[in-house]
């Protein structure tokens, strides 16, 4: 069965699969995602679909793959000024990282802070940047601390919060 853009697009309405989802459903998402990768050597048209399906398949051990596709989809959305969409992808990636890949949490929080700031969600952006800073301090990661501090530099969030790190 060939999946085309109409079918792939219609499947994006399911953003998350519950933890109690039947194994068959989770496997189906993995198969759809793998099929999309094969059908689209240039995945740009289906980045969001790949993010959704790999995220739904994460319980099968696809956390890193799902996070990578969520980040790519978020970058594409941000490049098109779709900051709300980018924040959605990054929120899903963050949840996956918190569950299975804690070393990625800080960087994802920085990305999320930037997307939320772009979407005008100033308070949420400040919170994400502050959490990224906390992660950096907890792990002694000076580079991440700088990224967290600069995540909102020059943005409305800095004027809103008047924080020293801006």
- What confidence score (pLDDT) does residue 160 get? 47
- What confidence score (pLDDT) does residue 8 get? 36
Mean pLDDT of the chain: 85
- List the chain residues with pLDDT less than 50: 1-18, 159-166
Nearest to 5 by CA among 49, 37, 42: 49
Which value, to the nearest 10 degrees, does the dihedral of the CA atoms of residues 157, 134, 150, 78 take? -70
3-state secondary structure of 101: coil
Rounded to two decimals, what is the model's pTM?
Answer: 0.80
């Amino acid at each position: 069965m060939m999946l085309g853009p109409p079918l792939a697009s219609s499947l994006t309405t399911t953003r998350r699969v519950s933890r109690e989802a039947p194994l068959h459903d989770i496997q189906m998402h993995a198969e759809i995602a793998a099929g999309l990768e094969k059908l689209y050597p240039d995945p740009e048209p289906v980045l969001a679909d790949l993010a959704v399906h790999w995220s739904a398949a994460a319980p099968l051990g696809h956390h890193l793959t799902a996070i990578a596709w969520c980040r790519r989809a978020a970058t594409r959305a941000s490049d098109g000024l779709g900051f709300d969409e980018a924040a959605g992808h990054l929120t899903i990636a963050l949840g996956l990282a918190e569950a299975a890949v804690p070393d990625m949490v800080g960087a994802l929080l920085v990305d999320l802070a930037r997307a939320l700031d772009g979407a005008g969600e100033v308070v949420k952006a400040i919170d994400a940047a502050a959490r990224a800073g906390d992660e950096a301090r907890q792990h002694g990661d000076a580079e991440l601390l700088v990224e967290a501090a600069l995540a909102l530099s020059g943005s409305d969030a800095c004027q809103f919060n008047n924080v020293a790190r801006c």
